[in-house]
Structure 1
């Protein structure tokens, strides 16, 4: 796995690099700004980018937006400190794979790497076991997912699938750019949100609850 770190604080960048290398991944470089990051992007095959939102001489969100448009198959993870609500909305719109808040723990970086390795990134759907046997369910056909005991109901346009897994397990397999947890019992596909209310979303004409802790993400 080739990883690029875009971080203008050298001590932080070096710390992330040490953690990544301890997991057997390769750090192709440390970029201090968007210009240096673009050079690495054009000269290396990258599997993951750690991207600080607040860079001294450039804007991490703008670079994230560029990545989403020009290199949609390269997942990137935003590194964030305390940010205001509007900046958070802009970051969410860039559709990063995930977020890591500063100050972070070593386990946060390790978990992010493992999620990339084990996720369906680069694939187009979930492989689930249903009453019909193993079924490939395309991501873009999934409207929302609801926890039901030790199972989850995966709702699509044509039908629903009952799959034995927790929401957390499924969230780890879904592309975070498209899917967001809204509640301890719900995950929604952002692309299928029809309307937003203060404490609910409408998806596939169904009312989906949004917990207070998730409301600033929509």
Structure 2
């Protein structure tokens, strides 16, 4: 965890009075506010030039992109914890926002203590999730999966186990590893999601998020901002959704 410099926070809030008050409170708490963006589009440009440690993001923005759509685009390229700020806490908005796996929600109106506690909890979770893991002792040639046209052989408890491609639901990135979620079991592979993506048969799998590859035949639902596989909501951006639909039509 950082100790030698202030945590950098980006505020994305279209009500300037609220944003200015939030910035003032954050400054008194010792945080470094990198900017106040009124629109999601402006936030995307700002992040390219000055990556923050955390983002406070209003769900209801007045620009082309709302807060949830902005979060989805950010998550395609950056690993930045996002805390939603909202005055509208109805179930529909909450469930839609939940699909982006945020690090917290702050309801308006809020107190300085709400900000401080939400940020501290988010940062603790973020650093815990991204803490370097001890190297696993392994022989890469023996642990790398063997990928065939209809199945994958993966290392599991000192054995190579066959997993039918039709049984794989989705594959999730976990730092430098990948976790296969199948109908009956989960398997942790010593391979990055990118390396695995390059080897998987394209007619069965597609990457819809920086952290997820899905099995096309297992998709139960395609919603506006997520897909559903076996009751698991997986976030998807508008561009990835477009590519997914095109891919399905080809298959």
| TM-score interval (norm. to shorter) | 0.5 to 0.7
1:170-189 matches, cutoff 5 A: none
Partner SS, residue 78 of structure 1:
strand
Q: Which residue of 1 aligns with 2:88?
A: 82
Q: Which residue of 2 aligns with 1:154?
A: none
Per-residue CA deviation, residues 78-123 of structure 1 (Å, 9 max, x unaligned), is 0111243222211000111111011111111011222244334363
1:103 aligned residue (96, 109, 129): 109
Q: Which residue of 2 aligns with 1:4?
A: 10
Q: Which residue of 1 aligns with 2:171?
A: none
Gaps of 5+ in 2: 1-6, 134-173, 180-185, 187-228, 233-251
Structure label with greater radius of gyration: 2
1:54 aligned residue (39, 60, 78): 60
Deviation above 4 Å: which 4+ runs of structure 1?
Answer: 124-127, 138-141, 193-196
Q: Does 1:21 align with 2:15?
A: no
Partner SS, residue 127 of structure 2:
coil
CA distance in 1, matches of 2:130, 2:42: 31
Identify, as 1 or 2, the structure richer in strand: 1
CA distance in 2, matches of 1:44, 1:120: 19
Q: Does 1:91 align with 2:103?
A: no
Q: Does 1:34 align with 2:35?
A: no
Gaps of 5+ in 1: 128-137, 142-156, 158-192, 197-218
Change (3 A) 1:61 1:126: same
TM-score, normalization: structure 2?
A: 0.48
RMSD over aligned CA atoms reads: 3.0
How much has 1:45 moved relative to structure 2?
Answer: 2.2
